[in-house]
A and B are shown apart, each in its own frame.
Chain A
Amino acid sequence: MRGWSIARGLVLVKVVVFALCALPGVLLLRGALLNELGANPLEALMHGTGDWALRMLLLTLAVTPLRRLSGWRWPQRFRRMLGLFAFAYAALHFTAWVWFDKGFAWGAMVEDIGERPFITVGFLAFVLLIPLAATSTRGMMLRLGRRWQRLHRLVYVIAVLGVVHFVWLVKADWLEPAIYGGVLAVLLLARLRGVRTALGAGRRAGPSPA
């Protein structure tokens, strides 16, 4: 009886977390369809989806340090969902760029990706997210075994590329990308062996990249 209620509770929490993660996207899409995104809707859409992709990515990367620090196992249960939301927002970001910024002008897109470093790194980050999203199922985890872990270590590269993408696109005010960079640095440092022992934690539960 007790196990049943915990499982049921977890499902409820998962639904709530899912709804919270989806909310900014739903609001952005609603604003886009109703033309309520202000004077420059493309800018609002690009910034909104980009910000949320990066936030979801950082939340995903916060799961393992949180678990190690606290000893709780439940954060682990949300990692896949958070990661998939990062991918979903990145996909919306990319789609908005292809559709509204570039107007499906493939030549111009290739030129941008080749010539503009901030687009190169952003595009690379998105492309690298695709195999991670595709192998996020339990079946793929089991099938790939240790290789799954190695593959999913790409998330560190992706997060760095994401922050660099942001840093390189701002004109003069680096405060906001610096905040994302700082959070990412803390999350990466927390994974270093020395830091982990210093924090007095070292528990591992289930497959996790690092």
Chain B
Amino acid sequence: MLIKTVTSGIKSSQITDRSVWEQRRRFLKAAALAGVGAGLGKFAPAALALQSGPGKQPAIAGLRASRYGAALSPTAYEHVTGYNNFYEFGTGKDDPAEYAGQLQTRPWSVSVDGECEAPGEIGIEEVLADFPQEERVYRLRCVEAWAMVVPWVGFPLGDLLKRFRPTSRAKYVAFETLYDPEQMPGQRRSVLDWPYREGLRMDEAMHPLTILATGLYGELLPNQNGAPLRLVVPWKYGFKSIKSIVRISLTETQPATTWSKTAPDEYGFFANVNPAVDHPRWSQARHRVIGEGLFSPKQETLPFNGYAAEVAHLYAGMDLKRFF
């Protein structure tokens, strides 16, 4: 009965002839291949398959593939999860992997406040259930001149922000990491001014490349990578991508951020990857690729970490040497 109703609702002129349909399919497939090939490299269709991890963390259900970074080959899981900065667990590169295990990521909620009509809290389970999780394979460029490729899982930050209805006064978004020296031994020493804080301009926050990540390699984030929820802004130096977020505030003025407070001449608010603006103590023109041996040469760093086509317009007319 129902089927009859539905079919009867379609006029015969709307039913596509099978040969035309097949032709269209071929055309779409070719167009997709050409498009992906032109933008992202010729191996893209194969890479659209989802990356899978070693099963150390629960797999994320209902994960969708995306075209973002389909042509990039991810850095080995052991390096992605074994070599990073997360000063809350120590300043050594292997400290996060060693000491983050004790962090309790359930229950976990993020409070959203400031210039928005519907301030409130959102739990991590709600985040995972309400926002479609998608794989994003992104380049990550650390300010220390090393880089890797990470197959993140997440969703656009903008989708979450919209739920809390930012007002017209919301010009910036500020983020805060958990402060809990009991669980985060690195916070027992005042290496940085805890809690770690980061921020984005509203247009940067709403950009489709900016995501909140819940996982990597198809699985929930390991603690050392910023579980259960972290920011990923692929065209900025890694320190902008704040980990283990507990608070998001919409603000009218530019928020203070941890590294730019620690050393204002070395780390700016924008921190866009820029080979033309050196860190005062080292060149940013090239970087070392994590996982490649000692004898492989450094690679050229690209403006905006290779995402200039997508984001350069956000900074049109700005002096990027001044606003570094």
Q: In the complex, A32 Cα to B293 Cα: how many Å?
A: 8
Q: In the complex, A112 Cα to B281 Cα: how many Å?
A: 9
Whether the pair B281, A39 counts as a contact (CB closer than 8 A) is no
Against A, the Cβ 8 Å flags (1 = close, 0 = not) of B275-319 are: 000001111000010110111011000000000000000000000
Whether the pair A45, B282 counts as a contact (CB closer than 8 A) is no
Q: In the complex, A100 Cα to B297 Cα: how many Å?
A: 7
Q: Which of A32, A45, A172: most chain B Cβ within 10 A?
A: A172
Q: In the complex, A40 Cα to B297 Cα: how many Å?
A: 13
Closest B residue by C-beta to A176: B91
- Interface: B25 (CB within 8 A): no
Contact of A116 among B91, B282, B290, B294 (CB under 8 A): B282
- Report A109-125 residues with CB < 8 Å from chain B CB: 112, 116-118
Whether the pair A40, B288 counts as a contact (CB closer than 8 A) is yes
- Min CB–CB distance B96 → chain A (angstroms): 12
29 A-B pairs (CB sep. < 8 Å): A32-B294, A35-B293, A37-B294, A39-B78, A39-B79, A39-B82, A40-B146, A40-B288, A41-B294, A43-B93, A43-B146, A43-B288, A100-B294, A100-B295, A116-B280, A116-B281, A116-B282, A118-B281, A168-B281, A169-B281, A171-B144, A171-B263, A172-B91, A172-B262, A172-B263, A173-B87, A173-B91, A173-B189, A175-B189
Against B, the Cβ 8 Å flags (1 = close, 0 = not) of A40-55 are: 1111010000000000
- Min CB–CB distance A105 → chain B (angstroms): 10
Q: In the complex, A204 Cα to B202 Cα: how many Å?
A: 71
Of all A-B residue pairs in the complex, the 4 with the closest CB atoms, nearest first, are A39-B83, A173-B91, A39-B79, A41-B294
Whether the pair A172, B191 counts as a contact (CB closer than 8 A) is yes
- Min CB–CB distance A62 → chain B (angstroms): 27
- Interface: B192 (CB within 8 A): yes
- Min CB–CB distance B75 → chain A (angstroms): 8
Q: Which residues on the A side are within 8 Å of B280 (C-beta)?
A: 116
- Interface: A200 (CB within 8 A): no
Closest B residue by C-beta to A117: B281
Q: Which residues on the B side are within 8 Å of A116 (C-beta)?
A: 280-282
- Min CB–CB distance A57 → chain B (angstroms): 22
Interface residues, chain A, CB within 8 Å of chain B?
32, 35, 37-43, 45, 100, 103, 108, 112, 116-118, 168-169, 171-173, 175
- Min CB–CB distance A61 → chain B (angstroms): 27
Against A, the Cβ 8 Å flags (1 = close, 0 = not) of B62-96 are: 00000000000000001100110001000101100
Q: Which residues on the A side are within 8 Å of B91 (C-beta)?
A: 172-173
Contact of A40 among B83, B189, B192, B282 (CB under 8 A): B83
- Min CB–CB distance A103 → chain B (angstroms): 6
Q: In the complex, A100 Cα to B221 Cα: how many Å?
A: 33
Given A37-B294, A39-B290, 9 further pairs, Cβ under 8 A: A38-B83, A39-B93, A40-B83, A40-B146, A41-B294, A42-B294, A118-B281, A171-B144, A172-B263
Q: In the complex, A168 Cα to B279 Cα: how many Å?
A: 13
Q: Which residues on the A side are within 8 Å of B291 (C-beta)?
A: 39
Q: Which residues on the A side are within 8 Å of B93 (C-beta)?
A: 39-40, 43
Closest A residue by C-beta to B298: A103
Against A, the Cβ 8 Å flags (1 = close, 0 = not) of B220-242 are: 00000000000000000000000
Q: In the complex, A35 Cα to B76 Cα: how many Å?
A: 15
Whether the pair A40, B290 counts as a contact (CB closer than 8 A) is yes
Whether the pair A42, B288 counts as a contact (CB closer than 8 A) is yes
Whether the pair A45, B294 counts as a contact (CB closer than 8 A) is yes
Q: In the complex, A100 Cα to B290 Cα: how many Å?
A: 14
Closest A residue by C-beta to B279: A116
Q: Which residues on the A side are within 8 Å of B146 (C-beta)?
A: 40, 43
Closest A residue by C-beta to B75: A39
Q: Which residues on the B side are within 8 Å of A42 (C-beta)?
A: 288, 294
Q: Which of A35, A41, A169: most chain B Cβ within 10 A?
A: A41
Q: In the complex, A164 Cα to B66 Cα: how many Å?
A: 48
Closest B residue by C-beta to A33: B294
Closest B residue by C-beta to A32: B294
Q: In the complex, A38 Cα to B83 Cα: how many Å?
A: 9
Closest B residue by C-beta to A31: B294
Whether the pair B87, A172 counts as a contact (CB closer than 8 A) is yes
Against A, the Cβ 8 Å flags (1 = close, 0 = not) of B247-264 are: 000000000000000110
Q: Which residues on the B side are within 8 Å of A169 (C-beta)?
A: 281
Whether the pair B293, A41 counts as a contact (CB closer than 8 A) is yes
Q: Which residues on the B side are within 8 Å of A40 (C-beta)?
A: 83, 93, 146, 288, 290
